[in-house]
Structure 1
Amino acid sequence: MSRTKLLMVWALCTLASPILSVAMLCQAAFGSTDRALSMAIAQDECGNALFGGSRGETISTRTGNALIAGKRWAKIVAQIIDAIFGAGHCLANATIKQ
């Protein structure tokens, strides 16, 4: 994709971001929790891409795979994620099998 097209996509995403945040809040509070979860996962995948992760991969999956591969950074990040989502969350979401 050309830089010009990427800049146009960036502009659209920047405009849509506040709308999507309000929509996710409304879905979580009053609407479909499944839809709110899908939106949260999409933001998680975006955060993973920010740090160089693969498209369509969540931070938990990437961290779980890195734990299995023995990456030092994953030990720290997994503790934080597992404290929020429950023990073993990252390893349970890993796509690489031990």
Structure 2
Amino acid sequence: MSRAKLMMIWALCAISAPILLLAMACQAGFGSTSRALSMAIAYDECGNALFGGARGETISARTGNALLAGKRWARIVAPLIDAIFGAGHCLANATEHLSE
């Protein structure tokens, strides 16, 4: 994809981001919690992409995969994520399994 097209996409995202955040807050508070969760996962995947993660992968899944691979950074990050979402959250969301 060309840089010009990416800049156009960026502009559309910049315009729509505040609207989407407000919509997510409204869904979480008064509407569909399922829709709010889907939106939260989309933001999570965007954050993962920011740090070089695969498209469509959440930060928790990436961290769980890194734990399975023995990455040092994951041993630091996983307890922080697990403290918010519950013990074993990252490993439960890992998508890659090491063969024995």
Same fold (TM over 0.5): yes
* Structure 2 residue aligned with 1:61: 61
Which residue type is aligned with residue 80 of structure 2? I
1:87 aligns with 2:87: yes
CA distance in 1, matches of 2:79, 2:92: 14
Which residue type is aligned with residue 39 of structure 2? M
After TM superposition, the runs of 4+ consecutive aligned structure 1 residues lying more than 3 A away are none
Listed as ranges, the gaps of 5+ residues in structure 2 are none
Q: How does 1:1-98 map to 2 (within 5 A)?
A: 1-98=1-98
CA distance in 2, matches of 1:36, 1:78: 24
Cα shift at 1:97: 1.9
Aligned CA RMSD, in angstroms, stands at 0.5
Q: How many percent identity over aligned positions? A: 78
Q: How many residues align?
A: 98
The one-character-per-residue Cα deviations of 1:30-53 (angstroms, maximum 9, x if unpaired) are 000000000000000000000000
